[in-house]
Amino acid sequence: MESKAFKIDELDKSIIEIIQKEPSLTHTEIARKVNRSQPTIGTRIRKLEKAGVLKFQAGINVKTMDLLLARVEIQTSKPDETVKLVKDCPHMLNAFRLSGTSNFSILVVSNKLAHLDEIVNHHFRKDPNVSDVYMDIITDVTNDLILPLDFNFENCSLTSNHECCGKCFA
């Protein structure tokens, strides 16, 4: 991973672990658990949040939802376009840059299997800048996985001309 050059110390790690387990604890309660003052905790948390290290993420636990997830690996000669697509298209939840035979692994969501295949055809297989496309359906998620979803993906269908990302089936 690209280093964001933000160093966290043991106290930061303890605070983060406590918040991960119990996000609703007050600064006073956290202070008591780590034997520090309440203002110290407040300062640390603000610093971690400002640096973007500590985030409070609301979303859907995909482990509990009846959704189809696929991992799509591609080799593209235009990585910037893939990054933009992942940001714009509600079917694309996130992407990982890879070093290897594929240069991207993309998490794609849909509620129908046929649709998932169509999305991958439309956005990747038909793209002349993309040379290899492998799609695997994710059959189980081990731990809770909380992802923010853009429910516009539910409006995108093969039979309608709905353009959910402006590029889907346009």
Binding-site ranges for Zn ion (CB under 5 A):
89, 156, 164-165, 168
Say which DSSP state 117 is in: H
Residue whose CB is less far from Zn ion, 54 or 89: 89
Residue whose CB is less far from Zn ion, 27 or 122: 122
> At its nearest, how many Å lie between Zn ion and the CB of residue 158?
10
Determine the residue type at 49: E
CA atoms of 86 and 68, how far apart (whole Å): 17
Residue whose CB is less far from Zn ion, 63 or 112: 112
> At its nearest, how many Å lie between Zn ion and the CB of residue 117?
13
Give the Å distances, CA to CA, from 50 to 53, 54, 147, 163: 8, 8, 21, 36
Say which DSSP state 62 is in: T
> At its nearest, how many Å lie between Zn ion and the CB of residue 168?
3
